[in-house]
Structures are given as structure tokens and as C-alpha cells.
Amino acid sequence: MRNLLRWETALVFLLIVVALTGQVSTDGSFLSGGNLFYLGLDIGEIALIALPLTLVIVAGEIDLSVASVLGLSSALIGWLWNAGWSLELILPTVIVVGAICGAFNGFLVTKLGLPSLAVTIGTLALYRGLALVVLGDTAVADFPASYTAFGTTPVPGTNIPYPIVLAAILAVLFGVALHASSFGRSVYAIGANEEGARFSGIRVKRVKLILFVLAGAVAAIAGIVYTFRFSSARADNGLGLELAVVAAVLLGGVSIFGGKGSLFGVLAGVLLLGGLRNLLILQDTSTEVLTIVTGLLLLVSVLAPSITRRVGTLRKATP
Amino acid sequence: MKNTRLVLALVVSGAVALTACGGTTKDSSSQQSGGTTNAAKADPNAPMKEGLKITFLPKQVNNPYFTVAQKGAEQAGTAIKAEVKATGPSDAAASSQVTYINTAAQQKQNALVISANDANAVAPALKSARGQGLKVVTFDSDAAPDARDVFINQATSNEIAAGQVKLISEAVGGSGEIAILSATPNATNQNAWIEVMKTELAKPEYSGLKLVETAYGNDDDQTSFQKTQGLLQAHPNLKGIISPTTVGVAAAARYLSSSEYKGKVQLTGLGTPNQMRKFVQDGTVKSFALWDPTKLGYLATYTAAALASGQITGAEGEKYKAGELGEYTIGAKGEVVLGPPQVFTKDNIDKFDF
């Protein structure tokens, strides 16, 4: 645990470094309210999906279908809207559909005992395919301004985007669930030693199923945010976003092997990736460099925590 | 496990509560905000401001077509002493331009020249950028009309289609059977052009031409290749083919150049010089057309500068000068048409590189 805390300290330190160099190199526009608003908008969906995905990865599983659930949710919103449904009915419906998608993942993983990596690579294609069936390659865009405003304007009187408010509320809920409840303790126990967890009476399959359902439901919520933010319901919305989310979670210090990690670290990881990207674009860095930096950061995200951990074990070993 | 249920219930109900606030359906909200009104008045005699900061945002970077358009934008920038900055995403996904639009607003640029990946996905960000004082010009691919000031249209359907009929008529010597090799059966622009071509063919000067078939190559190289083969077999007297799609015309040219029909069956269409160069040089194709992306980028950038200098506001009927391209007039819905497509022949094709 102490090693993990050390990685999170490093993340916060990195964040401060990025913020300060950004502030200096852009003459103060990096930390201006307007830019922070855009930054918040850009990381909204990633922050949302990262929350349940953290729990999934801590439990030793993975869900790569989240971005496809986002796309399916977006396509469904467009399709139901065209069919004349009211948004108040559409939104709960797509969240339920997202939860069902998650439940299907969870069912294949827990009941049939299939590896989640293989299952969710399959459903990644399946859900995206369904999205294309639902909406084809058309876009639905005539949503009322009262809804799309949630994705384009800040909370009155502040520079805080609504998606970030939503993410913050969910972050508290997920934080409590992971770090301050028996449910969270069983998630860690499963990730650290599944056999042990089972023998100590934790209902492993049930916990995992719940985690997949949560991931699906939150991915659908992210689909709603995405759709209104761009006021455009499309089947290809959020294509490839799962990689950004997994990157942020891993950068946040969550072990891909399960059992280790904290939600705080993940939020710092999301901020660091988003902030760095925003800063590079603001400084007119070319796309090639942007891609390389993101790739390197990904490598660091996997390497660094394991290095700090090793250094930690070495220290413990040598008196 | 009680906690589990509680948390689950909280998460879901929280999300649902956030969404519930009155019945909003498609019908109840059909009235979207109408076009923006330009309070400012245009001053045609206002001098072109120097040192304007203009962001050039293509659909994606490293796309040859837009790289050429960018050259035009930079030429315009040099001509009016503006600072033109090209930036953009590496993928052409619907939403990937939004970050760059927001950044342009954040950098307090004077104008944004953009080819929209998705007319609606970029609209909220463009509106917000306009609210912060940026002038927005779209080119090649328009955004929602209320999200931009002016759209630079590469060419009208009439100009494109009429031009194609004229080229094939010249190539086949005014008479004979012709066929069309299109993209997909439901492509909006293709169908509009085919309609205009039929109207053109009904005119007396084209009475010698007879349209025998319209084939669809689905904008797929292999399919277009086979459809060309099919057309030639089905119509032994075929004299010419029009293929108003870059994929189709290249595939048809490849087939013709390696077959006995080379030089006997004429081909024209919409293609890029780099694709078509060797077929023009080996005599398979006499001429083909496409708008010049350099001019498109030039005109879009010049228009953005004219907007930022207050020479125009984007209202219908306003006139302005676009450097070496001459005078342009803003048409209905804030559209400016670049002009008739560029015709490429053996004589001029080497001047173009895209």
C-alpha cells in the first residue's frame, strides 16, 4: 500500500509540473477558466468510464467493450429520438440497455468462466456492430438546446462543465464503494487472490457480475454525455475510447493483474493524460508528436508503478 | 452485501434523477434556433487587416487533398500578411475536431477555416468559438449553417455535371453511346449530378449522345474495375464513359489502358491529377476534371480574412475581392462558389500535384 501511495504522490507531482510549465509556457492561458472548462469537457467521458473500470481491473478483470457500449447508447438515443420517444424516457432506457450489455459480459465471464479479455474483445465488436445496425452511418442531431447545453456550457457562475459535476458525484459513490465498504474490500480480495477470496466466503461471481453491470451502465451514461456534448448521435461515437480509458486507469497506478490501485490515483491519471494532451495542442504540437507522447506515457504507466514496486521490495529486502 | 445494493441503487437512481425533468420529444422541440443575425454592418472598403491569426483545420492532417488545400491557405496568408496555422486531428472521426476548435478559441485566433468531419458534431464548438469573436469559414464540407459565417462550396452540381457531359462529348466527337460509372446508388451528390447530366443530354447540342446504362462501382476499386469490364461487354458500340468519382475513374482508366479498348472508348470523370497522370500521358484519357484544392484553401482563407477585417459579414449579396482569384459574391445561405471545376489535359496536368 505504501508503494502505491508513493506512485500517487509521483502522479500529483507530475500534475503540478505539467500545470506550472503549462502556465508559464502559454502565458497563463493553460490554467485560465476557459481552458480548464474545455479540458474538463475533453476528459468528461474518460473520467466517467474510468470509475467502474477501475473496480473491474482491481478485481483482476478487464472490460474493453465500454467504448462500444458508449456508441450503442449514442445510436439508441438517436434512433429512439427519431421514433418520437421523449428524452426523459430515452435516457433511463439507454442506461438500462448499457447495464444489460454489462450483464451479458459479466454472464459470459462468471457463468461460463471465459476470460474477460477475450469476452470483451468480442463484445467490443458486437456492441459496435449493433450500434451500426440501429442507426447505420447516419447522424441524428436535432436534439433540443436545453439538453445539448449540458455539454457545451458550464455550470452558471463557474467554469465547471456539467459532465465533470456528474463524474465527481459518481467518483464519490465509487470511492466509497471501493475504499470504504465491505464490497470494496471483496473487490480487492478477489483481485489479489481469487481462490482465497472464494474460500473466505466472498461471492466472487456475484461481485464480478455487479462490476460488469456497473461498467456497462456508466458507459451508457458516458454515451449520453458524449451525444449531447457533440449534439450528434452516431454509431461510431467514441470509437477507440476504451484505450484512452484503460491507459488512464493504468497510469493511475492500478495493477493490470488486479488487487492494487486506488480511485484517487486513477482520477489523477485521467487529469494527467488529459492535461498533457490539452497543453500540447495549445502549444500547436503536431499530431505526430502528440501520438508519440501519448504512447510513451502509456508505456510509463505500465512500467513506472512496477518499477516503484520493485524498488520498494528491494528496499524492504536490504536492511 | 447490503452495501452493494445500496451503492448500486444510488448510482442508478442518481443517474436517472439527473435525466428526469419534463417531457421532451422530437415534436415538442422541432424549432431549433434559426440562423444567426449579423448585427455588425459590412464595410466593403475596410482595409484588409494585417497580422490576422487564422487557424486552418482540415478533416484530418496528412491527407493529400487537404495538404494541397493547406498550400493555398498559406499562399493567401502570405498575400495578406496573416499568420496561418494548420492543425488538426490524425483521424477523421466525427468529434475529433472539437478539441482543435476549442483550442483556436482559447488561443484567441481571429478566424477559423475548417472542413467539417460532421456537420453537427462540430456545431456547438463552432458556435461557442463565434461567441468568442472568431469568424468561421467552412470549405469542402459544410457545418450546420447557423454554426459558421460563410461556406466555400467547391462547385455547384450544375457546373460539375454539365462540365462532365461537355468533356465526354468533345472526347467522342459529339455522337455515340455513353455510360455512367457512378459510386453508390444512394450517394446524394452522385445522384444529383446524374440527374443534371440527363437534363444536359436532352439538350439539342448533345442529341448525338445516347446514355445506355448507369453502373455503380460502390467507390470500391475492384468493383469499379469489374463494372467497367461489364459495361464494355454489354454495349459493344460504347464510345464513352463518365465516372464522376475519383475511385471509379481511376479504376476504369486502369482497365481501359490495359485492354483493346484503349483509345477507342473514351473516358472522363472527376479524378486527381496524381491518380490520372499516367493514363493521360499514355492516351487512355484525354481530359478529366476536379476543382483545385489549392484555390479552395486560398479562397477560404481570404474569405476568413475579409470577415475578420469587417469587409463582409456573411450576408447574401455582399461582394469582396479574393486576391488573385478576383471578386466573389456571397450567395444564399452564406455560400460562396469557387467556380467551374479545373479541367486537366495532357498540356496542363504536370502543373498540379495532388
pLDDT, tens only, B195-204: 999 999 999 9
Q: Mean pLDDT across the stretch B160-166?
A: 94
Question: Is pLDDT larger for residue A4 or for residue B312?
Answer: B312
Minimal Cα distance from A240: which residue of B?
B93
* Banded pLDDT at B14 (limits 50, 70, 90): low
Whole-number Å distance between alpha carbons of B227 and B214: 10
Q: Mean pLDDT across the stretch A151-155?
A: 86
Going from the N-terminus, what domains does chain B have, and what CATH number goes with each? 53-154+293-338 (3.40.50.2300), 157-290 (3.40.50.2300)
CB atoms within 10 A of CB B64: 12
Q: Is A94:A226 a contact under the CB 8 Å cutoff?
A: no
Whole-number Å distance between alpha carbons of A103 and A3: 34
Give CA separation, A163 vs A142, A150, B11, in Å. Answer: 20, 8, 15
Q: Mean pLDDT across the stretch B290-313?
A: 94
The per-residue pLDDT for range B49-86, each reduced to its tens digit, is: 999 999 999 988 888 788 889 999 999 999 999 999 99
Minimal Cα distance from B88: which residue of A?
A287
Three-state DSSP at A23 gives: helix
Report the candidate in B210, B203, B197, B208 with the shortest Cα–Cα distance to residue B174: B208
For chain A, the average pLDDT equals: 91
Torsion of CA A179, A182, A183, A189, to 10 degrees: 80
pLDDT exceeds 90 at position A225: yes
Q: Mean pLDDT across the stretch A223-239?
A: 92
Residue A260 corresponds to which cell in the numbers above? Answer: 492494487
The per-residue pLDDT for range B207-258, each reduced to its tens digit, is: 999 999 999 998 889 999 999 999 999 999 999 999 999 889 999 999 999 9
Minimal Cα distance from A145: which residue of B?
B32
Instruction: Tell me the range of A55-69, A250-264, B42-56 where mean pLDDT is highest.
Output: A55-69
Torsion of CA A282, A284, A286, A290, to 10 degrees: -20
Give the pLDDT of residue B34.
40
Residue A92 corresponds to which cell in the numbers above? Answer: 433511463
Q: Mean pLDDT across the stretch A46-53?
A: 97
Using a pLDDT cut of 70, give the percent of chain B over it.
90
- To the nearest 10 degrees (0 to 180), the angle between helices B246-257 and B221-234 is 60
User: Which residues neighbour A64 within 8 Å (Cβ) at sequence distance 6 or greater?
Assistant: A117, A120, A121, A124, A242, A246
φ, ψ (nearest 5 deg) of residue B265:
-100, 125
Report the candidate in A258, A294, A308, A317 with the shortest Cα–Cα distance to residue A9: A308
Whole-number Å distance between alpha carbons of B75 and B60: 20
Name the amino acid, one letter, at B60: Q
Q: What residue has cell string 474460500? A: A199
pLDDT exceeds 60 at position B39: no
Give the pLDDT of residue B32.
42
Q: Which helix (H) or strand (E) holds B224?
A: helix B221-234
The shortest CB-CB distance from A88 to any of B23, B105, B107 is to B23
Q: Mean pLDDT across the stretch B305-329?
A: 93
Give the pLDDT of residue A285.
85
ipTM of the modeled complex: 0.79
φ, ψ (nearest 5 deg) of residue B303:
-65, -40
Is A2-313 a CATH 1.10.3470 domain? yes
Give the pLDDT of residue B268.
96
Give the pLDDT of residue A3.
55
Q: Mean pLDDT across the stretch B128-155?
A: 93
Q: Which of B13, B62, B106 to mutate to test the interface with A (most CBs of A within 10 A)?
A: B106
Q: Is A6:A260 a contact under the CB 8 Å cutoff?
A: no
Q: Which is it for strands B342-345 and B150-153: parallel, antiparallel or unpaired?
A: unpaired
For B332-336, the CB contacts below 8 A with 24+ separation are B333/B145, B333/B151, B334/B145, B334/B148, B334/B149, B334/B150, B334/B151, B335/B150, B335/B151, B335/B152, B335/B153, B336/B150, B336/B151, B336/B152, B336/B153, B336/B299, B336/B303
The shortest CB-CB distance from A291 to any of B14, B90, B93 is to B90
Q: Mean pLDDT across the stretch B328-350?
A: 93
Q: What residue has cell string 477555416? A: B113
Q: Is A221:A140 a contact under the CB 8 Å cutoff?
A: no
Give the pLDDT of residue B5.
59
Whole-number Å distance between alpha carbons of B241 and B182: 10
The per-residue pLDDT for range A256-301, each reduced to its tens digit, is: 899 999 999 999 999 999 999 899 988 888 878 888 887 888 788 7
Give the pLDDT of residue A2.
54
Give the pLDDT of residue B6.
55
CB atoms within 10 A of CB A88: 16
Find the radius of gyration of the CA atoms of chain B: 24
pLDDT exceeds 90 at position B42: no
Minimal Cα distance from A99: which residue of B?
B12
The shortest CB-CB distance from A181 to any of B7, B20, B106 is to B7
* Banded pLDDT at B20 (limits 50, 70, 90): very low
* Banded pLDDT at B330 (limits 50, 70, 90): very high
Q: How far is CA A298 from the centre of its chain?
A: 15
Most distant CA pair in chain A: distance in Å?
71
pLDDT exceeds 60 at position B8: no
- The A residues from 62 to 121 touching B (CB cutoff 8 Å) are 81-82, 84-88, 91-92, 95, 99
A212 in B contact zone (CB under 8 Å) = no
Whole-number Å distance between alpha carbons of A294 and A163: 23
Instruction: Tell me the range of B18-27, B94-103, B292-301 where mean pLDDT is highest.
Output: B292-301
Q: What residue has cell string 444510488? A: B10
pLDDT exceeds 80 at position B13: no
Contacts A34 to B, Cβ<8 Å: 105-106
- The A residues from 8 to 47 touching B (CB cutoff 8 Å) are 29, 32, 34-35, 38, 41-42
Q: Which of B2, B3, B101 to mutate to test the interface with A (most CBs of A within 10 A)?
A: B3
Cα of first residue to Cα of last residue in chain A, in angstroms, is 19
* Banded pLDDT at B21 (limits 50, 70, 90): very low
Backbone CA torsion sign across B69, B71, B72, B78:
positive
Give the pLDDT of residue B352.
87
Q: Mean pLDDT across the stretch A31-58?
A: 94
The per-residue pLDDT for range A96-135, each reduced to its tens digit, is: 999 999 999 999 999 999 999 999 999 999 999 999 999 9
